[in-house]
Amino acid sequence: MADKLFTELERKNGLPAGLLDAVWSTESSRGKNMLSPKGARGHFGFMPSTASEYGLKDPDDLTQAASAAARKLADLNRAYGGDLPKMLAAYNWGDGRLARNGLEKAPAETRNYISKVSETMGKQGASAGSDFSSELFGDEKPSTRNGPLTAPAHGGADLSAELFGSTPAKAGNDRGVLKSSAAGARNLALGALRGAGSIGATLLAPIDMARDAIDGKGLSLESNRDRRKGMDAGLQELGADPNSLLYKGGKLVGEIAGTAGAGGVVAAPLRLAARALPQAAPSLGRLATSASSAGMTVGPGGGALGNMALRAAGGASAAGVGAGLVDPESAGSGAVVGAVAPPVLRVAGAIGGATVGAVRGLRDVATQSGQERIARSVLQTSATNPEAAAVALAKAQPHVPGSLPTIGQAAVDPGLAQLERTLLNNPQTAGGLQARFAEQRAARSAAIDDVAATAPGSGSYYDDIQEGRRVFANEDYAKARAAGVDPEAAASMQAEMKSLLERPSIQTAIKDARRLAAETGETVDDLGSVQGLDWVKKALDNQISKAGNGTTSSIGAEDLRALVQTRNDLNATLEQLAPAYREANRNFAAMSRQVNSMDVARGLERSYTPSAGNFGASAREQGAAYMKALRGAQDTVKAQTGRDLNLSGSMSTADIFALENVAKDLARKEYAETAGRAVGSPTAQNMLSQYLLRSAIEGAGLPASGAVGSTALNTLLRPLQFAGRLAEPKVNNRLLEYALDPARAAAALRAQPVQDNALAKFGGSSLPMRVMPALIAD
- Residues 99-131: tens digit of each pLDDT: 888 899 999 999 999 999 999 988 765 443 334
Q: Is there a contact between 597 and 655 (Cβ–Cβ < 8 Å)?
A: yes
Q: Is there a contact between 320 and 772 (Cβ–Cβ < 8 Å)?
A: no
- pLDDT tens-digit map of 662-677: 888 888 888 888 887 5
pLDDT for position 375? 84
pLDDT for position 63? 94
Mean pLDDT of the chain: 77
SS3 content of the chain, % helix, strand, coil (to 5): 75, 0, 25
- Taken as a whole, the chain contains a residue count of 778
Q: CA 149 to CA 136: how far, in whole Å?
A: 12
pLDDT at 615 over 70: no
Q: What angle do CA 39, 43, 45 make, to 5 degrees?
A: 35
pLDDT-derived band at 373, boundaries 50, 70, 90:
confident
Give the contacts of 468 (CB within 8 A, at least 6 positions apart). 591
If one compares 544 and 633, the residue with the highest pLDDT of the two is: 544
pLDDT-derived band at 33, boundaries 50, 70, 90:
confident
In this prediction, residues 203-218 reach a mean pLDDT of 80
pLDDT-derived band at 242, boundaries 50, 70, 90:
confident
In this prediction, residues 84-110 reach a mean pLDDT of 91
Among 102-106, 322-326, 375-379, name the one with the lowest average pLDDT: 322-326
In this prediction, residues 598-622 reach a mean pLDDT of 67
Greatest alpha-carbon span in the chain = 170
pLDDT for position 13? 93
pLDDT at 769 over 70: no
pLDDT at 521 over 60: yes
- For 632, what's the count of Cα atoms within 13 Å in the CB-facing half-sphere? 15
If one compares 372 and 622, the residue with the highest pLDDT of the two is: 372
Q: How far apart are the first and last CA of the chain?
A: 40
In this prediction, residues 559-583 reach a mean pLDDT of 90
Helices (H), 675-765: 684-699, 704-707, 711-716, 718-724, 728-740, 742-750, 758-763
R_g over Cα of the chain: 52
Count of CB atoms within 10 A of residue 299's CB?
15
The set of long-range contacts for 328-337, using a CB threshold of 8 Å and a minimum separation of 24, is 328/202, 328/205, 328/221, 328/224, 329/221, 330/773, 330/776, 330/777, 333/776, 334/772, 334/773, 334/776, 334/777, 337/772, 337/776
Q: CA 126 to CA 118: how far, in whole Å?
A: 9
Q: Is there a contact between 545 and 640 (Cβ–Cβ < 8 Å)?
A: no
For the chain, percent of residues with pLDDT exceeding 90: 21
Q: CA 688 to CA 146: how far, in whole Å?
A: 83
For the chain, percent of residues with pLDDT exceeding 70: 73
Select from 414, 398, 749 the least CA-distant residue to 406: 398
pLDDT at 685 over 60: no
pLDDT-derived band at 736, boundaries 50, 70, 90:
very high
Domain ranges, ordered by start, for the chain:
2-154, 176-259, 485-577
pLDDT for position 46? 92
Among 4-8, 97-101, 155-159, 449-453, name the one with the lowest average pLDDT: 155-159
Q: CA 695 to CA 66: how far, in whole Å?
A: 72
* 349 torsion bin: left (phi>0), alpha (psi -120 to 50), beta (else): alpha
Q: Is there a contact between 733 and 429 (Cβ–Cβ < 8 Å)?
A: yes
Q: CA 673 to CA 707: how far, in whole Å?
A: 29
Residue type, 168: P
Q: Which helix (H) or strand (E) holds 55?
A: none
Count of CB atoms within 10 A of residue 680's CB?
8
In this prediction, residues 415-421 reach a mean pLDDT of 91
pLDDT for position 234? 84
Q: Is there a contact between 652 and 453 (Cβ–Cβ < 8 Å)?
A: no
pLDDT at 185 over 80: yes
Residue 414 Cα to chain centre, angstroms: 23
Q: What topology is assigned to 2-154 in CATH?
A: Lysozyme (1.10.530)
In this prediction, residues 691-699 reach a mean pLDDT of 58
Report helix, strand or coil for 195. Answer: helix
pLDDT-derived band at 134, boundaries 50, 70, 90:
very low
Read off the DSSP letter of residue 242.
T
In this prediction, residues 161-176 reach a mean pLDDT of 48
Q: Which helix (H) or strand (E) holds 548?
A: none
Among 17-21, 71-75, 122-126, 326-330, name the one with the lowest average pLDDT: 122-126
In this prediction, residues 43-58 reach a mean pLDDT of 90
Burial of 307 by CB count in 10 Å (0-12 exposed, 13-18 middle, 19+ buried)?
A: middle
Report helix, strand or coil for 319. Answer: helix
Read off the DSSP letter of residue 708.
T
Q: Measure Cα distances from 507 to 472, 490, 511, 516, 641 in Å.
A: 31, 20, 7, 15, 24
pLDDT for position 186? 86
If one compares 132 and 667, the residue with the highest pLDDT of the two is: 667
pLDDT for position 388? 95
Residue 32 Cα to chain centre, angstroms: 61
